[in-house]
Amino acid sequence: MNAPRTPFQTALLSVALLASVPVFAGGKTEDPARIGSGGSAVASPSASLGPGSYLIDFENLAVGATVDSQYSAWGVTFLANAYDGGSWATNTDMTVVAVGGGNTGGLGTPSLVSGKLLHSFSGWLNEDGDASFALAFDTPITSISIDFAGIAAPSSTGIDIFTPEGDYVTSVFATSTGQQTLTYTGTNIGFVGVTPGDFNDWVGVDNISFTFAAAVPEPETYGMLALGLGVLAIAVRRRQR
């Protein structure tokens, strides 16, 4: 079972996230990865995210791929081993696997995950403690939603919310076995710690949905807008004479 999120441990996460050092190196190339706006549109690797909801479902990553910086073009990076010390693993598995491909544990019900998901069963067998990873967002988000499958010990699966400065906000834990969606809505979310199960409980991760809020114009922007509308109105009146 995961150790409690003590102030000491959350401070460790804050330091690790603010460092923004990728866990995996070695010159790996980025695979094309699908992020659907509102669950439908498909963005290219060079696309920039605007306001709205986006979905990471791992479908365009190859089975066996290690998830780390493939989604950095959209402003989010996966960091393995978010927590340190105690019972936390130092080798959290970040491998993409196929549902029904023989490398997952029992998924349970209701059926929320499909296609491909994160966290291989074989990798979980080799983990030396409780798995954890973090999502680091370049731009603050206002909501996060993640599907988990294979939950046997609900209190070991959860999401931890942090500000962009690394300050701990709150946690949301699973409340039932099988498959469950965990969601948090708020403001100024910079990092999300994810704990998929524990040393004795394999849990898969899928359908990571997050929302970027629309930017609020600065006061001077409103002033320029008003000036522009005024000029336009004058031009219209002149044409009508």
Domains and CATH numbers, the chain: 7-240 (2.60.120.1360)
Is the pTM of the predicted complex or chain greater than 0.85? no
What sign does the CA torsion over 196, 82, 211, 44 have? negative
Tallying the residues shown for the chain, one arrives at: 241
Q: What residues form DSSP beta bridges with 194?
A: 133, 159
The token pair at 41 is 């549109």
Assign 22 a pLDDT band (cuts: 50, 70, 90): very low
Closest CA to 81 of 150, 34, 40, 22: 22
Give the C-alpha separation, 72 to 60, whole Å: 15
Q: How many CA atoms lie within 13 A of 100 on its CB side?
A: 4
Residue 2 in this model has a pLDDT that exceeds 80: no
Question: pLDDT (tens digit, 9 = 90+) per residue, 188-216?
Answer: 999 999 999 999 999 999 999 999 876 65
Question: pLDDT (tens digit, 9 = 90+) per residue, 100-129?
Answer: 999 999 999 999 999 999 999 999 999 999
What one-character-per-residue DSSP string does the chain give?
-PPP--HHHHHHHHHHHHHT--S--S-PPPPP--EEETTT----TT----SEEEEE--TTSPTTPBPSSTTGGGTEEEEE--S-STTB-SS---BEEETTTT-S----SS----SEEE--HHHHHH-SSB--EEEEEEEEEEEEEEEEEEESSGGG-EEEEE-TT--EEEEEE--SSEEEEEEEEEEEEEEEEEE-EETTEE-EEEEEEEEEPPPPPPHHHHHHHHHHHHHHHHHHHHHH-
The token pair at 137 is 């967002």
User: What pLDDT score does 30 carry?
Assistant: 24
